[in-house]
Amino acid sequence: MIKDGDPISIYQLYDTAKSQITQAINDSLLTSYTKDSRDVLSKLTVDPYGRLGIKIAEPLDPYGRVKTSYSDELYNEFQPISAYGSIVAANNTSGFSVTLFKGGRPNVNVYYYLGGAGNVYVEVSRDGSTWRPFDTITLSGAGSGLKSYGSIAYPYVRVRTDAVNIDVEFEIVASR
């Protein structure tokens, strides 16, 4: 027992105090809450002076930033996808179409080229077999264009024409 006036040295108490403080922190509710995740997300530390600190755990890049990872599957969901097709007039005996399974990508761009007069039909489907009209583009002569559509919830988009004996080119691009 220490009384007022007794000569003591702090260094004699330091190691004991440090271990007791460390143990108290490890046993506290805060530590029990973070015990399972602290090796992954953060580490609780006590410095030589008894100060409590939190360190972000590894891995860190050379600049001290926490490294993160992403799944290729998630990354690919945000990449644009496309479908392209063309046919020359000599082979176009029954019209032409291009279909794209766009999944959940709501933004769609359609490029079209007809080598003569005709209609371009933009259609949507939930199953790839039952098609619903979405837009019709009418050309009175040869021509091309690019149309953008937003918020298309259907997972399939098809662009087609029933015009025959003309060159046709279609491209569909979908993105988030």
Same domain, 48 and 120: no
Residue 62 maps to a domain: no
The domain total for the chain is 2
Q: How confident is the model at residue 174, as a pLDDT?
A: 94
Residue 134 tokens read as 């979405």
Q: How confident is the model at residue 58, as a pLDDT?
A: 60
Identify any residues that bridge with 121 across adjacent strands, giving them in sequence order.
Answer: 136, 160
Residue 59 tokens read as 């891995």
Same domain, 31 and 89: no
Residue 65 maps to a domain: no
Q: What is the pLDDT of residues 147-157, one digit of tens each?
A: 999 989 999 99
Domain span at 46: 10-56
Same domain, 52 and 82: no
Q: How confident is the model at residue 33, as a pLDDT?
A: 43
Ranges under pLDDT 50 in the chain: 29-41
Q: How confident is the model at residue 19, as a pLDDT?
A: 74
Q: Would you list the DSSP string of the chain?
A: ---TT----HHHHHHHHHHHHHHHHHHSHHHHHHTTTTTTTEEEEE-TTS-EEEEEPSPB-TTSPBP----HHHHHHTS-EEEEEEE-GGG-SS-EEEEEE-TT--EEEEEEEESSSEEEEEEEESSSSS-EEEEEEEESSSEEEEEEE----SSEEEEEE---SS-EEEEEEEE-
Q: What is the pLDDT of residues 30-60, one digit of tens each?
A: 444 444 443 444 556 677 777 776 665 566 6
Q: How confident is the model at residue 34, as a pLDDT?
A: 43
Q: How confident is the model at residue 21, as a pLDDT?
A: 73
Q: How confident is the model at residue 102, as a pLDDT?
A: 92
CATH of the domain at 157: 2.60.120.380
